[in-house]
Amino acid sequence: MSSRLRLLLACLASAVIVVPLGWMWWSSLLPDTYSVVDMGYVDLGSGPAPAGAPGHNAMDSRATSIRTLRADPARPADVRVDLVARRETFELASGRRVDGYTLNGGSPGPTIRAQQGDQVEVRLDNANVPDGITLHWHGIDVPNSMDGVAGVTQDAILAGDSFTYRYVADQVGTYWYHSHQLSHEQVRRGLLGAVVVVPKNADPEILDVPALVHLYDGLRTVNGEEGDVSVDAAPGSIARVRVINTDNGPMTVWVSGSGYRILAVDGTDVNEATPVKGKGTLVTAGGRADIEIVVPDGGARVELGGSTALLLGPGASELPADTAPTGVVDLLTYGSPAPLGFDPKTATRRFEYVVGRRPGFHDGRPGLWWTVNGHMFPDVPMFTVAEGDVVRMRIENNSGDVHPMHLHGHHAVVLRRDGVPATGSPWWVDSLNVRDGESYDVAFVADNPGIWMDHCHNLPHAAEGLVAHLMYAGFTTPFMIGGTAANHPE
Amino acid sequence: MKSVYKVLAFLIAAEVAIQAAMMAFAVAGLGIWVDKEGGVLDKATFESEPDFTGAVGFMVHGINGMMVIPLLALVFLIVSFFAKVPGGVKWAALVLLAVVVQVALGIYGHENAVFGMLHGLNALILFSLAFMAGKRVTSVTPDRHVVAERELV
């Protein structure tokens, strides 16, 4: 073979390798600035195209801005909280020092307490967080402009700026708030806190114990404390422990020394909660579970994943910790059925949210990346609905990892898991643990207009592109991902 | 180009050795963290990048295995087209094949531990292939020094 021919063949062979890879790399690069309403493709869920279904123009003049979706601005606040966010090294309640983010000098931030129906107003000041911040009200179905997603419902609040969140706390239950700007970084390092909404006629005898669980630098804490954390509780008293999993993977809660009941999941009460013994309760990432314990004479230990526990009652310090139970309560069959308030059979739209994984490039980085319905970010479905639609969604996971799927602004009810119908209490979720190989059928009513993220709450997964959104026809957003405020919601 | 071929071959072999070392470092560190330092590992903790000695090993193993080594193997194959090492393309292709198998076994090791075991075995195959490919450059192609000596005779 002549050396010239050989060289030509070598160049051709190299081109066969380099050109397709280079093209894949180049086409995966994301623009610096883009709007979520231009992202991906419209998915109508086999329903009719609603009036004002999104075209591909973010500034569609006929569409209504989501900024108009807000709480009554004239109504005075019943609960007012001022929060100041800082990037700093701080001391946890346990005494351990952490390099992270604080709200009013500590992390977790203050627990916001409201009575059902209260107008809540939270002013957030960014003292010095260089990348900007927001607050998302996880599980609270706020008006869209208050959802706190940087680049979708607002601009990131830059250092020196402030933003006031206003909403009516209609839903009783356990919720939390956290940054939704660079959330995979800011949440992990402390920009978060609990929200508790109690009914007006709450029983003052019941001991209300928020238990915000968070891993700072990989070590588990509850309300910033770690190890065995004592709670003052008289034997015979009833405690409602509000477990909030603020981390990126599911955790198991179990109780040593007592049985318990699961009173609520993701803020919604369980209908006819039955006693649980010898089983744990799985709380997925972003999810909540309210656990009721009648404090025995010998006390009880609420084990939060095994490394940290809440000790209820004076005797609890003597109590041995049970090891993690092998089984968890199956919420598909827990409690008793009750009316849903709507009929999922009348669904006008049926969406698929199939999570997979394949090799490729994500914004120029090679790797094994998540896919939604076979497409890689940003080519993901825009689940398009009209206000009032009854929506069914099938969430399926074939990706090799568990995904805590979180839909903003709505609560969905679980109808089936792997085809098996739910027979227990209506299981309403905003954060659903979808294991590898599982499929869930859920349904919800599209009753909260706007543009809502529907993503994995393992926040690094979201940053890797496991994000889609629910889009109400006729609405648009003036905010951009990237842009002058450098909005990066994940 | 021959020396580039050789350097890349040995670099891939060295990277495989680093991979083995990093994994052992990470697993040992994890064991100590659980055993002696009261660390508790569950899915939430696993996802939060716990900060124990050796934890960096998991990260290095992932970046090296998913990005650096596949990239080196691709560059190695491209270089082999130009290097004029007898059988060089074949060996570079074998190395790339072993890398593809290795990445796949690594991924499926998260589904089934048997694949993890095979991942460990294939690492030795990959190391050997890369090392042999590098060694061959000197043994199959007489270098200039030897040629010069022969010409003198």
Interval A137-159 mean pLDDT: 97
**What is the tens place of the pLDDT at every residue in A417-430?**
999 999 999 999 99
Whether the predicted pLDDT of B146 surpasses 80: no
pLDDT-above-70 percentage for chain A: 98
Q: Give, in order, the Cα–Cα distances in Å from A435 to each of A173, A213, A284, A325, A400.
A: 25, 21, 10, 19, 8
B47/A306 touch (CB, cutoff 8 Å), yes or no: no
A57 pLDDT tier (thresholds 50, 70, 90):
very low
Alpha carbon distance B64, A300 (integer Å): 47
Q: DSSP letters of B74-86?
A: HHHHHHHHHH--T
- Domain boundaries, given as residue ranges, for chain B: 2-140
Statement: residue B145 has pLDDT above 70: no
Mean pLDDT of chain A: 94
pLDDT of residue B153: 43
What Å distances lie between residue A447 and A98, A152, A390, CA to CA?
41, 19, 9
If you average pLDDT over residues A108-135, what whole number do you get?
98
Confidence of residue B17 (pLDDT cuts 50, 70, 90): very high
Which residues of chain A neighbour B62 with C-beta distances below 8 Å? none
Q: What is the pLDDT of residue A433?
A: 98
Question: Could you give the strand order of the β-sheet that contains A162-168, starting from the edge strand earlier in sequence?
Answer: A97-103, A79-91, A119-126, A162-168
Minimal CA separation from A359 to chain B, in Å = 10
Q: What pLDDT does residue B37 have?
A: 83
**CB distance B47–A460 less than 8 Å?**
yes
Say whether pLDDT at B151 is over 50: no
CB contact under 8 A, A368 and B66: yes
Answer yes or no: do A247 and B47 touch at CB < 8 A.
yes
Mean pLDDT throughout A272-284?
97
Tell me the mean pLDDT in the region A74-78: 95
Residues of chain B contacting residue A6, judged by C-beta atoms under 8 Å apart: 84
Q: What distance in Å separates residue B90's CA from the closest CA in chain A?
A: 13
- For chain B, what is the mean pLDDT? 90
Q: pLDDT tens-digit profile of A359-372?
A: 899 999 888 899 99
Model confidence band, residue B148 (pLDDT cutoffs 50, 70, 90): very low
CB pair distance less than 8 Å for B42 and A305: yes
Q: Considering only alpha carbons, which residue of chain B is nearest residue A15? A: B78
Alpha-carbon gap, residue A229 to A222, rounded angstroms: 8
Q: Do residues A195 and A114 touch, judged by C-beta distance below 8 A?
A: yes
Q: Please check whether residue A312 is in contact with residue A250, taking contact to mean a CB–CB distance below 8 angstroms.
A: no
Is 60 exceeded by the pLDDT of residue A72? Answer: yes
pLDDT tens digits, one per residue of A210-241? 999 999 998 899 999 999 999 999 999 999 99
- Whether the per-residue pLDDT at A154 is higher than 80: the answer is yes
Q: Chain B partners of A25 at a C-beta cutoff of 8 Å? A: none
Mean pLDDT, rounded, for B33-57:
88
Burial A323-347 (b: 16+ CB within 10 A, else e): eebeebbebbebbeeeeeeeebeeb
Task: Kindly indicate the confidence band of residue A156, based on its pLDDT and cuts at 50, 70 and 90.
Answer: very high
